[in-house]
Amino acid sequence: MAVLKSNSEERKLLARLMRAEAEGEGRLGMLMVGNTGVNRVVADCLDFKDIRTLSNMVYQSPGGFEAIRKPYFYQKARNAEINLANQVIRGWKYHPGSYSLWFFKPSGPCPATWFNQANAGRYKSHCFYNPTYDDCPSIYW
């Protein structure tokens, strides 16, 4: 059962985002980016109170994703990434992206906090950040 409603076009959109943000980090890196995106839709907190669809999440401004400004984001979704997007939509979680609302690629070590959220860990070049349960209980299901 899915943790959020989506149609095939939204799943393809999430797949394109996952690929554009983390293709160089392999399957697991893309899954963690997908976790962060799904968490933003599920969350009813912080900067994500009005985000209710995958499309809202991908194109959120401000606070959205840098990859949507790049030409490779607009490539056709591939079956491999669509399958990964389906996994995170079904609720599969991958640490350190399990409960993250933010990730980014620093030029050095991961800062301890980002947007007042604690560092949950690093996977390859991306650092992932989780809100506290008190700040955002809806993503801790």
pLDDT band at 1 (very low <50, low <70, confident <90, very high): low
Counting residues of the chain whose pLDDT is more than 70, the rounded percentage is: 99
Closest CA to 73 of 20, 25, 128, 118: 20
Q: 37 near 57, Cβ under 8 Å?
A: yes
Per-residue tokens: 106: 């620093």
- Domains of the chain, by residue range, sit at 8-139
8-139 has which CATH code?
1.10.10.2520
- Quickly state the pLDDT bin for 115 (edges 50, 70, 90): confident
pTM greater than 0.85: yes
Neighbouring-strand partners of residue 103 = 128
136: tokens are 């955002």
29-83 residue pLDDT tens: 999 999 999 999 999 999 999 999 999 999 998 878 988 988 889 999 999 999 9
